[in-house]
Chain A
Amino acid sequence: MKRLMEAGSLLRPISWMPRPLPIRRLFFPNFPRSVKASSKFPGAGYRGPKPKRDWVAEWVSRNDDVVRSLPIYVGGFSLFVVLFNRAASGIAPVADASSSSQSRADLLTLGLAVTNVLTGLVWLSIRPKSISLVNPQGVECQKICSDLPDYVVSELLWMWESLSVVTCCRSLVIVYEGSCLLQIGVAAESNGGNTMEVDAPKLIQGLLYQGVVKSGAQSYLANLSLYPGKSELPFLPSNTQAVILQPLGDKGIAIIGGDTIRGFTTADQAWITLIAEKLDATLSRFATNLTVTMQD
């Protein structure tokens, strides 16, 4: 008889292949970059065109700071040139647009210079703030509930791999129907260097879980240190910076811990919501199969 309903004691570490390579290389053999120039198998059957290198985009992304302040310098320089031109040509310093076409031309040029300066300032103001990441303190763990069929295990592991490679996620805990299915990534250290186990029943009775499951909506704690409910998540590393609590239907929760404040973007949140819905469908099908076999 399957024992999914029992709490806690079934977690076992699964055997993983050693990870000497950075996971990006293994997982994404061709991690997408903005440039594609060559194919490894030139004559292997793909007969379409290859994309050209986008020099401008590359140059701008590489010299982001320079490009942002470039319009200011251009505008400022033109401003001086116009005024100098006017002074050096001996024209009266009166900007009367109706009098001479020289004045009109100067005014238009000044207007363009000011536009450039303002654009440069706007670009400087929208520079994204770079927040440094904080390495979570804890021990690496990879725990998965036994007795799960392979398709559920592969889906859970795929979810962990996607999150850890694409987002700033460093810890993942999945609790479903009263027991912890997965605890992976960096976990808090309990006495003696062991990982702190997830106390699923206590978590389920806590306010955090109840609130999230009742509302059915994802909850994004962008800066965990400000949130008093942090005490309900003792299994996460103490310096986890951001946490996403994603309900899985009304039967479970996925707790995703990240290493940067506000590290999960809106796009990440949307993707996580949809992936969690799929996971919920998979897990509920597994639970249904379970009850069907139990009734036989």
Chain B
Amino acid sequence: MDSLFLNPLIRLSLPPRFRANPVKYSCLYVSFLHPSVFSNNIARRTRRTRRRRNPTISVRLGDTGEPKQQLNLSVLRFTLGIPGFDESYLPRWIGYAFGSLLFLNHFVGSRSYTTAAQFRSEALGVSLAAFSVALPYFGKFLKGATPVDQAALPEGNKQIFIMSESLSDIQKEDLAWATYILLRNTNTMSVLISVGDALCVRGYWGAPEDVSKASELDWFERQIQQIGFSDLRDTLYFPQTSDSAFSEMLPRGTQSLLVQPVLGAPKLGLDDTQEITGGFILLASSMSYAYSDRDRAWIGAISNKFRIMRVNS
């Protein structure tokens, strides 16, 4: 983002402080390939600031006396420096590689009879390999983990931006802004906002080819009515969707889906220029587990903006 910068005072003003309680790091910080900023799991959404990793000194800002002395293991974080290579999936690849080597060793290795000890060892190895393969999946749900791979846009969709005709300029501006902000700030590839009579669709959608431009809106309306989204009362979040009920309407390659209803009574009284509306916001993404708790909280805030629509300007 061009328009953001962190206050540099925070990063540079405090000198590095050594821990009062020295912890033996032994041989762990001797040699690293790239003692640079760990590429993936520095979550953009965690509460730490970025800092250079110095392998020998632990640089911690604001190191006030914590009641529980935590091991500072940040020296272990290194990166191979290869762009596009996700280190958090390393256990999975090592698991596959070593597991297949174990099988190879068992069948090809020794000609003679394999001993019981070897069987035990291999069984343990194979189960460890299976566990390693599963590790990145569990790691995804830990606090502070971010999805690293920005999935590429799937084929077969085209970019559209359509809006109901019968809207005032203010409503059009609100809808355009809301769709823009949702597409830009979250991992969303397609967004649909339906509020009252107004419908706005933006992003990559896979409407069938034989639907003409003019009737695209009608096509979406029919799909919505078929599924009955407008009567939704709860937020629906499908982190990994493969449901066929939606697949006709959703763009190809959708992996996660979030449907946020627009609910609630407004806090201020209404006057003639406003009316209460119902509706929903639908977001589809090409990544699975695309929306974190905070993302969903913000999307809920955006949906609250549409509780009242201004009818006249």
Interface positions of A (Cβ within 8 A of B): 16-17, 26-34, 36, 38-41, 44-51, 54, 56-57, 60-61, 64, 67-68, 71, 74-75, 78, 81-82, 85-86, 88-89, 91, 100-102, 104-106, 108-109, 111-113, 115-116, 118-119, 121-131, 150-151, 153-154, 157-158, 161-162, 165-166, 216-223, 226-227, 260-263, 265-271, 273-275, 278, 281
Establish whether residues A270 and B124, one from each chain, have CB atoms under 8 Å apart when the complex forms.
no
> A105 CA to B102 CA in the complex, in Å?
6
> Which B residue sits closest to A261, measured CB to CB?
B62
> Which B residue sits closest to A277, measured CB to CB?
B177
- B294 proximity list for chain A (CB < 8 A): 166, 265, 267-268
Establish whether residues B125 and A127, one from each chain, have CB atoms under 8 Å apart when the complex forms.
no
Chain A CB within 8 A of B105 CB: yes
Q: Tell me the interface secondary structure of chain A in the complex.
A: helix
Establish whether residues A267 and B298, one from each chain, have CB atoms under 8 Å apart when the complex forms.
yes
- B120 proximity list for chain A (CB < 8 A): 85
Establish whether residues A101 and B106, one from each chain, have CB atoms under 8 Å apart when the complex forms.
yes
- B98 proximity list for chain A (CB < 8 A): 108, 111-112
Within 8 A of A (CB), among B286-308: 289, 293-302, 304-305, 308
Establish whether residues A104 and B109, one from each chain, have CB atoms under 8 Å apart when the complex forms.
yes
10 additional contacts (CB under 8 A) given A104-B105, A158-B305, A165-B297: A29-B263, A34-B293, A101-B110, A109-B102, A109-B125, A115-B91, A126-B77, A150-B273, A226-B13, A266-B44
Tally of contacts, chain A with chain B, CB under 8 A: 302
Residue of A31, A112, A222 touching B125 (CB-CB under 8 A):
A112
Establish whether residues A32 and B139, one from each chain, have CB atoms under 8 Å apart when the complex forms.
no
Chain A CB within 8 A of B1 CB: yes
Pairs A–B under 8 Å by Cβ, sample size 6:
A30-B261, A41-B233, A89-B115, A150-B274, A266-B4, A274-B181
Q: 6 smallest A-B Cβ distances: which pairs?
A: A45-B231, A101-B109, A162-B301, A89-B117, A109-B125, A125-B73
Establish whether residues A129 and B184, one from each chain, have CB atoms under 8 Å apart when the complex forms.
no
Encode contact with A along B88-103: 1 for CB under 8 Å, 0 otherwise: 0011001100100110
Residue of A38, A57, A78, A116 touching B91 (CB-CB under 8 A):
A116
Establish whether residues A166 and B298, one from each chain, have CB atoms under 8 Å apart when the complex forms.
yes
- A113 proximity list for chain B (CB < 8 A): 128
> Which A residue sits closest to B302, measured CB to CB?
A162
Establish whether residues B76 and A131, one from each chain, have CB atoms under 8 Å apart when the complex forms.
no
Chain A CB within 8 A of B36 CB: no
> A281 CA to B170 CA in the complex, in Å?
11
Establish whether residues B49 and A222, one from each chain, have CB atoms under 8 Å apart when the complex forms.
yes
Establish whether residues B141 and A56, one from each chain, have CB atoms under 8 Å apart when the complex forms.
yes
> A57 CA to B145 CA in the complex, in Å?
12
CB distance from B228 to the nearest CB of A (A): 4
Establish whether residues A263 and B105, one from each chain, have CB atoms under 8 Å apart when the complex forms.
no
Residue of B124, B142, B261, B268 touching A81 (CB-CB under 8 A):
B124
Establish whether residues A226 and B304, one from each chain, have CB atoms under 8 Å apart when the complex forms.
no
- Given A46-B228, A226-B9, A227-B9; A101-B118 close (CB under 8 Å): yes
Establish whether residues A119 and B135, one from each chain, have CB atoms under 8 Å apart when the complex forms.
yes
Establish whether residues A220 and B114, one from each chain, have CB atoms under 8 Å apart when the complex forms.
no
CB distance from B134 to the nearest CB of A (A): 10
> Which A residue sits closest to B177, measured CB to CB?
A278
Establish whether residues B267 and A157, one from each chain, have CB atoms under 8 Å apart when the complex forms.
yes
Establish whether residues A122 and B143, one from each chain, have CB atoms under 8 Å apart when the complex forms.
no
Establish whether residues A262 and B129, one from each chain, have CB atoms under 8 Å apart when the complex forms.
no
CB distance from B238 to the nearest CB of A (A): 5
Residue of B10, B117, B185, B226 touching A222 (CB-CB under 8 A):
B10
Establish whether residues A40 and B7, one from each chain, have CB atoms under 8 Å apart when the complex forms.
no
- A41 proximity list for chain B (CB < 8 A): 231, 233
- A165 proximity list for chain B (CB < 8 A): 297, 301
Establish whether residues A273 and B105, one from each chain, have CB atoms under 8 Å apart when the complex forms.
no
- A112 proximity list for chain B (CB < 8 A): 94-95, 98, 125, 128-129, 132
Chain A CB within 8 A of B159 CB: no
- A153 proximity list for chain B (CB < 8 A): 268
- A106 proximity list for chain B (CB < 8 A): 121
- A227 proximity list for chain B (CB < 8 A): 7, 9
- B42 proximity list for chain A (CB < 8 A): 126
Chain A CB within 8 A of B239 CB: yes
Establish whether residues B43 and A128, one from each chain, have CB atoms under 8 Å apart when the complex forms.
yes
> A102 CA to B117 CA in the complex, in Å?
8
CB distance from B281 to the nearest CB of A (A): 12
Within 8 A of A (CB), among B35-55: 38, 41-49
Residue of A30, A105, A216 touching B118 (CB-CB under 8 A):
A105
Establish whether residues B121 and A36, one from each chain, have CB atoms under 8 Å apart when the complex forms.
no
- B137 proximity list for chain A (CB < 8 A): 56
Establish whether residues B261 and A125, one from each chain, have CB atoms under 8 Å apart when the complex forms.
no
- A91 proximity list for chain B (CB < 8 A): 117
Residue of B118, B243, B264 touching A102 (CB-CB under 8 A):
B118
Residue of B49, B144, B185 touching A271 (CB-CB under 8 A):
B185
> A60 CA to B141 CA in the complex, in Å?
6
CB distance from A227 to the nearest CB of B (A): 6
- Given A34-B237, A67-B138, A104-B105; A218-B62 close (CB under 8 Å): no
